[in-house]
Amino acid sequence: MEIVAMNRISRPSAQILRKLGSTTALLVCMLSPLAMPLYADDAKPTATEITKARAECAMHKQKVRAVENANADDAQLPAMRLAWAQACGRAQDLITAASATPAPKPQPDPNAAPQ
């Protein structure tokens, strides 16, 4: 099954999901919107939250790379890859939420008659 990189899944995450297999990838894609934190327009994530999420993503990446480079037949590798994909997805969601601008409020028409 070919995984198409959607707006919610970054390229590295899509590559990780490809390695995990179709069933796991489908499950992650279905559950990822449920795991995404919801932010109001005035409650955007802070730079500290984003930095922590990016550090967690990098930590998971290093763990996976270490196991892959050791050529160990580790049964935990799929779970480690899944944790990596989730951590990087969370970091990307925080970055997206922080950069989102609120929709402009509709302005009254200056030519309209007062009500």
Which residues are CB-neighbours of 68 under 8 A, at least 6 positions away? 77
pLDDT-based confidence at residue 72 (cuts at 50, 70, 90)? confident
| Residue predicted with more confidence, 3 or 46 | 46
- Give pTM, 2 decimals: 0.53
CB 15 within 8 A of CB 73: no
* pLDDT reading at 24 higher than 50: yes
* pLDDT reading at 1 higher than 50: no
pLDDT-based confidence at residue 106 (cuts at 50, 70, 90)? confident
| Residue 76 DSSP SS3 | coil
